Chains A and B, each alone.
Chain A
Amino acid sequence: MAVAIMRARQQCQEAGFDVSTSCRVATAVSELARNIVKYAGQGEIILLRVSAPRGAGIEIRAQDQGPGITDIEKAMEDRYSTGRTLGLGLPGVRRLMDDFDIKTEPGAGTRVTIRKWL
């Protein structure tokens, strides 16, 4: 987890993001990594530099083969948690990033893809 956070911050700085944006991305990675450790036990986080017509950016995919999320709409609401936490992780990540996409199926795992553009 520590490695994922540090790599994310490093990649952001290399990509040319300022300190506070790098901090947002690193925090988003931390949220997703924690979710994997807490709910799925194990999974992976992939950091990618991406480019699109609108410019360059960084993409993070966090995926696991864990139990999945039963009620995704609720999970995206503020202050909803099944794990006695603040319940701000996923909606918070959405606010921190530019693009947010989540695919999940009960029993088949979860994949969150997030992007931040320069």
Chain B
Amino acid sequence: MDSATNRTNMCSGLGADELMTLYRIDEGDLQRIREYGKIMAPKLGEMIEEFYIWLRQQPEYARFFSDPDKEASVRKLQHIFWRHFFEAEVDDEYIRSRRSVGEAHARIGLSLQSYFAAVNHFLVMINDTYYDGSQGGPQHGATVSSVSKLVHLDTSLAVETFSALINRQLSEQSRAMMEMSTPVTALWNDILMLPVVGIIDSRRAQDVMTAMLSRIAETRSTVIILDISGVAVVDTAVANHLIKITKATSLMGCECIISGVSPAIAQTIVELGIDVGNVKTTATLQDALTQAFRQTGIVLSSQ
């Protein structure tokens, strides 16, 4: 239901200060990064050059950089990204820009694996390959730690946005599936049918009811068969929804027959203590259809 999506949004509200605390970054770290930036900034062009040599060997490269203009514009953005990094002004604007980097990567469908590998490649270049040895050992050690912390913060923001976006797509998809899953079909003159499959929650029950009632109004059908043989469980909430649905349809002058009540479901309903009142139910769809025919005065004869 909705709880999964709520959970994933847990950290998205954090601002710059809270994130700095979470990643144990203090003013000293930022100072060290800025200091290190003086060594690194002039080499950024060279580093990006080397990065693309590596990137071209990656299987995903061709998929994302089919057009040479694309590569040029991405290179420019990378330059800005790392310049921004070494300026180390971690404010809300900085955080926002890091989140949008994540979103951009997620949108093009880059795998997290490749994203991490790329970040790692830069980290190695920054801490190792392009370091000129001008800092003392302990000082460089502290710098490496500060750089790593900020890189981790950056990466976490990108990944978080990644997963938020994917979760959003998932919930949109499940919503779309639910909307597709209320196909009310005219079975015969005056007889409608709706098969329900899977799990019924309140929203789905509401969708089912709305779909049924509007088709009843449209077709002026007098019988509607709701087939629940594909429903995973009928618990008290589902039963309650079904009872309400049959009440609503009968108010519109249309009788609802619930078909597909298996022996297991029948026993469960009895043990739960649900009073189904005068809800009409049948074991099979065939029985429901026979009843519907009788009710609408249709006689089938074989010759």
> Could you list which residues of chain A lie within 8 angstroms of chain B, going by C-beta atoms?
1-2, 5-6, 9, 19-20, 22-24, 26-27, 30-31, 34, 37, 41-42, 78, 85-86, 88-89, 91-92, 95-96
Contact = CB atoms under 8 A, between A and B. Distances in A.
Interface of B: 1-3, 6-7, 198-199, 201, 232-240, 262-265, 267-268, 271-274
Contacts of B232: 2, 5-6, 9, 26, 30
Nearest to A1: B1
A37 B236 contact: no
Contacts of A19: 264
Contact of A23 (B198, B238, B264): B264
A8 B240 CA distance: 22
Contact of B271 (A9, A24, A89): A24
A1 B203 CA distance: 14
Nearest to B267: A20
Interface centre among B236, B263, B264 (most CB of A within 10 A): B236
Interface centre among A9, A22, A27, A37 (most CB of B within 10 A): A27
Contact of B237 (A5, A85, A91): A85
Given A88-B273, A88-B274, A92-B272, A26 B1 contact: no
Given A5-B233, A95-B271, 19 more contacts: A1-B1, A1-B201, A20-B267, A22-B264, A23-B262, A23-B264, A23-B267, A24-B264, A24-B267, A24-B268, A26-B233, A27-B233, A27-B235, A86-B239, A86-B274, A89-B237, A92-B236, A96-B268, A96-B271
Contact of B236 (A22, A23, A42, A86): A86
Query: Nearest 8 A-B pairs (CB), nearest first?
Result: A92-B272, A23-B264, A20-B264, A30-B235, A2-B199, A30-B233, A27-B233, A88-B236
A85 B233 contact: no
A92 B236 CA distance: 8
Contacts of A23: 233, 262, 264-265, 267-268
A92 B271 contact: yes
A107 to B, nearest CB: 20
Contacts of B264: 19-20, 22-24
Contacts of A89: 235-237
B3 A42 contact: yes
A22 B263 CA distance: 12
27 contacts: A1-B1, A1-B199, A2-B198, A2-B199, A5-B233, A19-B264, A20-B268, A22-B264, A23-B265, A23-B267, A24-B268, A27-B233, A30-B238, A34-B237, A37-B3, A41-B6, A78-B273, A85-B236, A85-B237, A86-B236, A86-B237, A91-B273, A92-B236, A92-B273, A95-B271, A96-B268, A96-B271
A91 B271 CA distance: 10
Contact of A42 (B7, B234, B265): B7
Contacts of A92: 235-236, 271-274
B198 to A, nearest CB: 7
B272 A95 contact: yes
A4 to B, nearest CB: 10
Contacts of A31: 235-237
